[in-house]
Amino acid sequence: MEERKEILEVKNLKVYFPLKHEVVKAVDGVSFTIYEGDSFGLVGESGCGKSQTLFSILKLLKSPGKIVGGQILYKGKDLAPLNEKEMEKVRGKEIAQIFQEPMTALNPVLTIKKQIFEAFVHTKMTKEEKDKQAIELLRLVGIPNPEKRLKEYPHQFSGGMRQRAMIAIALGENPNLLLADEPTTALDVTIQEQILALIEDLKEKLGMSMILVTHDLGVIAEMCNRVAVMYAGKIMEITDTVTLFSKPRHPYTRALMSSLPNGSKNKLETIKGTPPNLAKEIIGCPFAPRCKYAIDKCRKECPEMIEIEKNHFTRCNRLDVISKFEGLISVEEEGKNGK
């Protein structure tokens, strides 16, 4: 079997937010690899660093956030040290991003047409060619009567249509890698399903790779072939999706799984406690205060990521006592019922 080519490799990425009296370590040593054709998920609770990891790739961090360490290798070239002008050659053309809230991502005073035209900045097309391509993009993402809708403004679109328009803009230069930050959070359940199906269909049609950030394990099961579980700025576990749902090995992953709806459960389990303050020094495993398996060693030492079986990595001091987690619903069932 031919090995897939690496398209992106994130190595020991660190993203800090220096404040007046403290430093928030939003991303603290994250590493993962994206291959051609991948649908890679980043999942975890709010504030775990998954969105900041995504924003780092295109260097879209809000001030005072900055990359303070690590590499972001896109086709072998490190994006981390590039300046704004150099990054403009990467954004859209090579890597594109769709955001959580289209109403704030789209410019309210520009027509949809003008905003799609902005995506053609690196292409040499006549106005007529741009018009034709813009119409085709709206048609591709399922917006009816695209010739008319191009002339309208974002406020004239419904939430689902705004998200479709934002996807059309992201696809303007046919990128190789699509970054999706909680792309359905602001939408109702029916529209969520439509947008996710659209993204999956376009990914396959256009041959893109994708990184999907979400807090929803049901979306991960439905959309992703590989997944990394994040907590407190670190990756706790990373493997293929089927393995994660059938054999989660890190206590945090197991706790997330236990909180999923399951027809055999009388009540949902909860993860006691709260995530740590990332502006304070964390000694030991960041999940230790909430972990039922934690021992003194866990409170003193945060283990490195290790490969526990082929392509299955985790960090935990208690792997000797954590066996296969039984009683999980299947990936297929979770994909249907997990939202």
- Residue 265 in this model has a pLDDT that exceeds 80: no
Specify the long-range contacts of residues 239-246, CB closer than 8 Å, at least 24 apart.
239/311, 239/312, 239/313, 240/311, 240/312, 241/41, 241/331, 242/331, 243/312, 245/221, 245/328, 245/329, 245/330, 245/331, 245/334, 246/328, 246/330, 246/331
pLDDT beyond 90 at 121:
no
In whole angstroms, give the CA distance from residue 195 to residue 201: 10
In a domain, residue 138? The reply is no
Give residue 74's domain range.
Answer: 1-89+208-339
Please give the residue that has the higher pLDDT: either 251 or 259: 251
pLDDT interval class at 337 (50, 70, 90): very low
Let me know how long the chain is: 339
On average, the pLDDT of the chain sits at: 90
pLDDT score for 8: 98
Residue 146 belongs to some domain of the structure: no
Q: Is the pLDDT of residue 324 over 60?
A: no
**Region 107-136: what's the mean pLDDT?**
90
Which of 8-22, 32-46, 188-202 has the weakest average pLDDT?
A: 188-202
Please give the pLDDT value at position 338.
38
The CATH number of the domain where 295 resides is what? 3.40.50.300
The whole-number pLDDT of residue 321 equals 81
Does the pLDDT at position 301 exceed 90? yes
Lowest mean per-residue pLDDT among 119-128, 200-209, 287-296: 119-128
Window from 71-75, 255-259, 310-314, 328-332 with minimum mean pLDDT: 328-332
Residues 68, 323: Cα–Cα separation, whole Å:
37
Residue 335 has pLDDT above 50, yes or no: no
Predicted pLDDT of residue 235: 98
End-to-end CA distance of the chain: 35
pLDDT of res. 177? 97
The pLDDT value given to residue 6: 95
What per-residue confidence (pLDDT) applies to 80?
A: 96
Residue 241 in any domain: the answer is yes
Rg of the chain taking only CA atoms, in angstroms: 21
Counting beta carbons within 10 angstroms of the beta carbon of residue 272, is it exposed (0 to 12), middle (13 to 18) or buried (19 or more)?
Answer: exposed
pLDDT of the residue at 2: 56
> In angstroms, rounded to a whole number, what is the distance separating the alpha carbons of residues 235 and 232?
8
Give DSSP secondary structure letters for 125-178: --HHHHHHHHHHHHHHTT-SSHHHHTTS-GGGS-HHHHHHHHHHHHTTT--SEE
Examine the pLDDT at 333 and tell me if it is beyond 80: no
Which residues are registered as beta bridge partners of 239?
Answer: 227
Q: What is the pLDDT of residues 217-253, one digit of tens each?
A: 989 999 999 999 999 999 999 999 999 999 999 999 9
Residue 261 falls inside a structural domain: yes
- pLDDT for res 320: 82
| pLDDT tens per residue, range 135-186 | 999 999 999 999 999 999 999 999 899 999 999 999 999 999 999 999 888 7
Query: Is the Cα dihedral 148, 149, 154, 159 positive or negative?
Result: positive
150 - beta bridge partners? Answer: none
DSSP for 283-301 reads -S-TTGGG-TT--HHHHH-
For residue 131, pLDDT over 70 is answered with yes
- pLDDT at position 22, please? 96
In a domain, 145, yes or no: no
Let me know if residue 43 belongs to a domain. yes
Domain count, the chain: 1
Strands 177-181 and 234-240 turn out to be unpaired
At residue 270, the pLDDT reads 81
Residue 99 lies in a domain: no
Q: How far apart are alpha carbons 227 and 114 in whole angstroms?
A: 36
Which tens digit of pLDDT belongs to each residue from 54-106? 999 999 999 999 999 999 999 999 999 999 999 999 999 999 999 887 777 89
Q: Does any domain span residue 290? A: yes
Confidence class for position 125, pLDDT limits 50, 70, 90 = confident
